[in-house]
Structures are given as structure tokens and as C-alpha cells.
């Protein structure tokens, strides 16, 4: 083994170590932290229960927003970890659902390093991959069972394939990304290649990737499921996924997730910490080296799609995550090349300190309302101190020390989050409910309750005798129901305090429960109007 190859393996091992230090803490202890995560996990549970790997369902509701790739990855994880039979018996192991996200994030880190090694040098690759490994955005997505960490891994592999002009890697990554989240990665890669071709006035990269066999294999990976779901749903999947979901995000601020242009520039101050410290230097580097074909490719991957996302009405912080591999490499290469040349000794420090200050202020403002002023100021001060420390270590060419400290801080943060009372309402409610009884919860309609309590959990007023009826304070129970335990906590999805009381309906008759169910002015009988689709009341 050559010295260069040995160094590469050592770097990959170090990156895996800091990534796992950041990603594994809290993985098992965290309850579902996102409504989408609970839906993904529950839909995977139902795949395991029914054996149907084509149609995607959350209880009786069709889940036609994204393809099946993430659900299959979770199902494979349940099988590989020996959790599949336990899940079918009603046990819930959130960590097994989240392992694919950890693997996707780790692939993103490794592929970013390999891209940097191919385009620049060892230190640039290590620093760039390290920035993305410990970034808040990727660490968060690695902790939740959704699509975004997997998509980040596919995006980084696609970027590596394009940078190294390897058609097989590029098209395989695009095929996997398409099965995970539809045509998003194809759009990112296609826009990058088009921008690069126009900018350099050369189609060499396009010609290198336009190989028939890899393209046919990619189609062979993706088309079977899309054909099957089209037949299974009579085209309803495409109408929902492309028309209502993707088209709705482009046409307007879907599900209250809106924002003005500049949204991602601001959220990146927190989501790309601590790499955000190097972004001013990255911008300087990209401008100085704008005639360099390597730098042009990274800018073409990042800038056009970023600008496009800024003007799409629907916004969420993780939408820019597929762009982070290129952004991280610009940050790593810019920091190494310009600081070693001594061109940013004063200006770079001043700009980075300014960004650190913005980060602290922005973080404090973001959590002020929920966490209170003392905790907000403490977090902001801690991030400032850690930012300065990381900057100093990197300035001293002690990259591994800086990245290890950042990873440790991120891991400790998720350990603390897993114990936060802001997230424990559903787990405490399930823990205190009588064993074996079905939960009916018309006031607390969170998908996490279905995942943790079981598929037959009802989020309507349709109770049967013997059910546990969960009602918020202020909702009158059936006269026949007996009050039991109460649980108070924060519904973090809505940002408000709730007190939920469990009522025993054993002494109730079916007729009494039916009469109570339709006593609410907001509840309509089936013969009065068609029922709303389950889940339409949730934001996603």
C-alpha cells in the first residue's frame, strides 16, 4: 500500500470516527422529533406488517409525496438488526429506523473527502469533509429517519462522479437519489453540468457521463417501482408527488413553510456551523480562482440551485443540504490555499469573527421564545467561544483537533436533546396508558403517537368500549367514561403546552360513544358530508 493510499485510509477512518461521535449520541433515546419522521417510521412499520413494498401508507392514508427508497432502507435496517419480528409484535426501535440516515450521512462525508482529494489535496479534502461531517444540518438529519441524510449521501457520490468523470458512480447515485426523493438530485446535477458547460464553453464533462450502459442501468434501478406504483394507484402517485407536493412547493408556501429570498443565507449561519466560519474565505477563494475549472464545477453545483431555492416559496432549512458537499470543499480549499498564502491573516479573522457573532445572535434569537433568555444567551455564548476555538486550531493547522472538538460538542448537544422535556409528551403518554388498550386521541393528533402506540391508534373521536380516550383539558368527555392519569407537556410541533387526560371507556356503550363523537360542532356524521382525508390536518 502506497503512503498516499495509507494516508487516505487514515483520513477516512478519522472522518468516520468524528461522524459517529456526532451522530450516535441520542440516536436510540430521541423520541420522534419531526412529524415527517414519525410518518416515515410508521409507514415502514406498516410495510413490515402487511408485506406490501409498493404502496406506501400511514394508517389508511396514502403516502404519495416521495418514492419508496427511504422506506425500503428502513425496512432493510429492521431486518439486518433483527428488529423486524419485534416490530411486527408491536415493539418500536427508533434507532433501527434511523441507521440508514447515519449511513447516508457517513457516505456523504466520505464521498466529499474523495471529491476533495480528486480535485485538490489531502488537507483540503479532510477539512472540507470534516466541516460537513460535524455540520448541524447533516448531524440533525443523521438523527432522524427521513430522506435527507440519504439524499445528501447520494448527492456527494454524484458530485464525486461528475468531478472524476466517472459515469457509473454518477448515474448510480442519481438513480438512488431518485428512488429516495424523486427528481431533486437529477435537477441539482443537471443544472450544475449545464452551468459548468456554459461557463467553461466545454461539454467535456457531459460527454464523459453520457454513456448508454450506466444510464440504462440507472433506469433499470428506478423504473420498476415507478411503473408498479403507477399501476397500483392508477396514476394517483404521480398526481400527488409531482402535482400537489412538488408543484405546490414551487407555486406557493406549502404547509406554512414559507420564507423570503435570503432565508437560506441566514439559516446556513446555524445549519453549517462550524464550517460557516470559513465561508467568507471560501467566497474570496471562489472569486480569485473563478477561471479554475475545478472551482467552477463546485460553484456550478452550489450557486445556481441555491439561488433557485431562495426564490421557491416553500422553504425548509435542509433543502440546501445536497449542496453542502461542494460548499464544504470550497470552504476547506479556500481556507487552506488562502491562509497558507498569508492573504487573509487579518481580513479573514475579522470576517470570521463577524460571522461567529451573527451566528450567536441568530441562534439566540431562534431559541429565545421556547428556551428563555438565560439558555439562549448561554447557547449563543458557547457557540461563539467554540467558534473562536475551532478557528484558532485550524489557523494553527491542527484541523483534527478542531473537528474532534466540534464533533464532541455536537454529540453532547444531541445527548442533551434526547433528555429534553420538550420532546417527551408522546413517550410519557404511551408509557402511562394501560397495556393492550387502543388509544383514541382526537385532540392530540401527532403521528408520533401512532408510531409509538401502534397502528390501530385512532386520531379521531371514533372510540369503542374499552378504548383509552385521550382528551385535552377543556374537552368534555363522555359522561360514562372514568378519568384516569393526566400528562402535561409541550406539543413541540405546535409550540404550546398541553394537559392530556386518559379516560377509561369500559363502562360505556357503543351508542353512548357514538353520540358523544358527534356532539362536537366540528364533527360531521358520514351521512352529512364526506370525511376529510386522514392526516390533512397536519402540516408536513
Per-residue pLDDT of the chain (540 residues; tens, 9 = 90+): 455 888 899 999 999 999 999 999 999 999 998 889 999 999 999 999 999 999 999 999 988 889 999 999 999 999 999 998 888 888 889 999 999 999 999 999 999 999 999 999 999 999 999 999 999 999 999 999 999 999 999 999 999 999 999 999 999 999 999 999 999 999 999 999 999 999 988 888 999 999 999 999 999 999 999 999 999 988 888 888 776 666 555 555 455 455 678 888 888 877 888 787 778 888 888 998 989 999 999 999 999 999 999 988 888 889 999 999 999 999 999 888 877 665 545 445 545 554 555 555 555 555 544 555 555 555 556 666 666 666 656 655 677 888 888 898 889 889 888 888 888 899 999 999 998 899 999 999 999 999 999 999 999 998 999 999 999 998 999 999 999 999 999 887 777 889 999 999 999 999 999 999 888 655 544 433 333 333 333 334
Kindly report, residue by residue over 405-447, the tens digit of the pLDDT.
889 888 988 988 888 888 889 999 999 999 889 999 999 999 9
Phi–psi pair at 235, nearest 5 degrees:
85, -5
Cell of 500: 392530556
Distance separating alpha carbons of residues 489 and 424, to the nearest angstrom = 7
Query: What are the DSSP calls for 44-92, one per residue?
Result: HHHHHHH--SSS-EETTEE--SS-SHHHHHHHHHHHHTT-HHHHHTT--
pLDDT in tens, 164-210: 999 999 999 999 999 999 999 999 999 999 999 999 888 889 999 99
Residue 369 pLDDT: 46
pTM of this prediction?
0.88
The confidence score (pLDDT) of residue 390 equals 62
Cis omega (within 30 of 0) for bond into 274: yes
SS3 440: strand
Distance of CA 505 to the CA centre of its chain: 39
What confidence score (pLDDT) does residue 36 get?
Answer: 92
306 Cβ contact partners less than 8 Å away, ≥ 6 residues apart: 264, 320, 323
**pLDDT value at residue 376:** 54
Cα(172)–Cα(175) distance, rounded to whole angstroms?
A: 5
pLDDT at 297: 96
Q: How far is CA 82 from CA 240, 248, 404, in A?
A: 34, 39, 32
Alpha-carbon distance 392 to 277, whole Å? Answer: 11
Task: Write the CA distances from 221 to 69, 138, 260, integer angstroms.
Answer: 11, 26, 37
Amino acid at each position: 500500500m502506497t503512503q498516499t493510499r495509507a494516508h487516505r485510509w487514515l483520513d477516512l477512518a478519522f472522518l468516520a470516527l468524528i461522524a459517529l461521535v456526532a451522530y450516535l449520541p441520542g440516536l436510540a433515546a430521541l423520541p420522534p422529533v419531526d412529524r415527517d419522521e414519525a410518518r416515515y417510521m410508521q409507514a415502514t412499520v406498516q410495510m413490515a406488517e402487511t408485506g406490501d413494498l409498493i404502496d406506501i401508507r400511514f394508517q389508511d392514508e396514502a403516502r404519495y409525496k416521495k418514492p419508496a427508497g427511504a422506506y425500503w432502507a428502513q425496512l432493510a435496517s429492521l431486518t439486518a438488526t433483527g428488529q423486524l419480528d419485534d416490530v411486527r409484535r408491536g415493539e418500536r426501535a427508533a434507532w433501527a429506523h434511523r441507521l440508514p440516515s447515519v449511513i447516508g450521512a457517513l457516505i456523504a462525508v466520505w464521498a466529499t473527502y474523495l471529491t476533495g482529494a480528486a480535485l485538490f489535496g489531502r488537507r483540503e479534502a479532510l477539512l472540507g469533509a470534516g466541516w460537513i461531517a460535524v455540520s448541524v444540518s447533516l448531524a440533525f438529519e443523521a438523527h432522524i429517519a427521513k430522506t435527507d441524510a440519504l439524499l445528501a449521501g447520494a448527492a456527494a457520490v454524484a458530485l464525486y462522479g461528475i468531478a472524476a468523470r466517472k459515469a457509473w458512480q454518477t448515474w448510480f447515485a442519481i438513480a438512488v437519489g431518485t428512488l429516495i426523493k424523486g427528481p431533486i438530485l437529477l435537477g441539482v446535477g443537471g443544472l450544475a453540468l449545464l452551468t459548468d458547460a456554459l461557463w467553461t464553453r466545454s461539454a467535456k464533462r457531459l460527454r464523459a457521463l453520457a454513456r448508454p450502459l450506466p444510464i440504462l442501468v440507472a433506469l433499470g434501478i428506478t423504473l420498476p417501482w415507478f411503473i408498479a406504483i403507477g399501476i397500483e394507484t392508477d396514476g394517483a402517485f404521480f398526481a400527488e408527488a409531482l402535482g400537489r407536493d412538488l408543484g405546490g412547493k414551487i407555486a406557493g408556501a406549502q404547509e406554512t413553510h414559507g420564507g423570503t429570498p435570503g432565508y437560506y443565507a441566514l439559516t446556513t449561519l446555524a445549519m453549517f456551523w462550524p464550517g460557516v466560519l470559513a465561508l467568507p474565505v471560501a467566497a474570496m477563494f471562489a472569486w480569485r480562482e473563478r477561471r479554475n475549472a475545478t472551482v467552477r464545477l463546485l460553484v456550478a453545483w452550489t450557486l445556481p440551485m441555491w439561488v433557485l431555492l431562495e426564490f421557491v416559496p416553500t422553504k425548509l432549512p435542509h433543502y440546501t443540504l445536497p449542496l453542502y458537499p461542494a460548499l464544504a470543499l470550497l470552504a476547506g480549499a479556500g481556507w487552506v490555499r488562502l491562509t497558507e498564502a498569508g492573504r487573509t491573516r487579518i481580513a479573514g479573522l475579522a470576517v470570521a469573527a463577524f460571522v461567529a457573532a451573527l451566528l450567536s445572535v441568530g441562534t439566540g434569537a431562534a431559541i429565545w421564545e421556547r428556551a428563555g433568555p438565560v439558555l439562549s444567551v448561554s447557547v449563543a455564548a458557547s457557540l461563539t467561544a467554540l467558534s473562536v476555538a475551532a478557528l484558532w486550531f485550524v489557523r494553527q493547522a491542527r484541523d483534527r483537533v478542531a473537528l474532534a472538538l466540534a464533533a464532541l460538542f455536537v454529540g453532547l448537544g444531541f445527548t442533551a436533546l434526547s433528555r429534553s422535556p420538550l420532546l417527551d409528551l408522546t413517550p410519557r403518554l404511551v408509557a402511562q396508558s394501560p397495556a393492550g388498550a387502543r388509544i383514541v386521541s382526537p385532540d392530540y393528533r401527532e403521528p408520533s403517537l401512532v408510531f409509538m402506540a401502534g397502528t390501530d391508534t385512532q386520531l379521531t373521536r371514533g372510540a369503542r368500549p374499552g378504548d383509552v380516550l385521550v382528551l385535552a383539558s377543556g374537552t368534555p368527555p363522555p359522561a360514562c367514561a372514568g378519568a384516569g392519569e393526566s400528562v402535561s407537556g409541550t406539543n413541540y410541533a405546535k409550540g404550546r403546552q398541553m394537559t392530556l387526560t386518559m379516560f377509561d371507556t369500559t363502562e360505556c356503550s357503543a351508542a353512548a360513544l357514538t353520540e358523544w363523537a358527534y356532539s362536537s360542532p366540528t364533527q360531521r356524521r358520514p351521512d352529512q358530508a364526506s370525511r376529510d382525508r386522514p392526516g390533512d390536518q397536519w402540516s408536513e
